Amino acid sequence: MLHMSVFAYVSLGMATCITLLAYFMSEDAQLALTMVPMVVLLGGIPALMDVLNKRHVAKLDLRHVKLGRIKDLAKMGIGEQVRISGTIDAISHKWLNRPKYKVVDSSGEIGVYMFVAPRQSIQCGDQIEVVGTLRWSFGFGKKEKRLWGLQLEKI
């Protein structure tokens, strides 16, 4: 399934409406021939990026990444690949097509920012397993580790 952000859908809808309105007001075929390719690109580029990102992630072989606990991530270095399992406690930024999940296990919690939206529908309370890379996240005066997820699956 194709996932584009709300911004992409809104801008595509606005550009389509403007193109149709301009054509019906002027009935100039040359204007339509100029604007239609721009509208196609406006919708095509986010769709193409979604497809390419999903293909890239599907090609990654992450079976070598061992399962760990969230509290152990504090000892690991930035850039290391990790695999954790836990429960989804909160979800945000779904509308940007880069969802952020708060994952909790018995040892702690961590924020997981996804590189691509997961293929499955993920809800709060779902048991998941995620593989990603540790990165720094800066916000409101604090610096903490976050997981930039590559693969997320329900267990």
Show me where the domains of the chain are located.
6-59, 67-154
Euclidean distance between CA atoms 100 and 153, whole angstroms: 14
Terminus-to-terminus CA distance in the chain, angstroms?
A: 21
Predicted confidence at residue 81, as pLDDT, reads: 93
Is the confidence at residue 1, as pLDDT, over 70? no
Angle at 145 between CA 135 and CA 119, to 5 degrees: 65
- Residue 93, pLDDT score: 85
Q: Which pLDDT belongs to residue 154?
A: 92
CATH homologous superfamily for the domain 67-154: Nucleic acid-binding proteins (2.40.50.140)
Distance CA 134, CA 79 (A): 5
Please identify which residue in the block is written with the tokens 């397993």: 129
Spell out the alpha helix ranges (H) of the chain: 6-26, 29-59
pLDDT band (50, 70, 90) for residue 97:
confident
DSSP label at residue 86: E
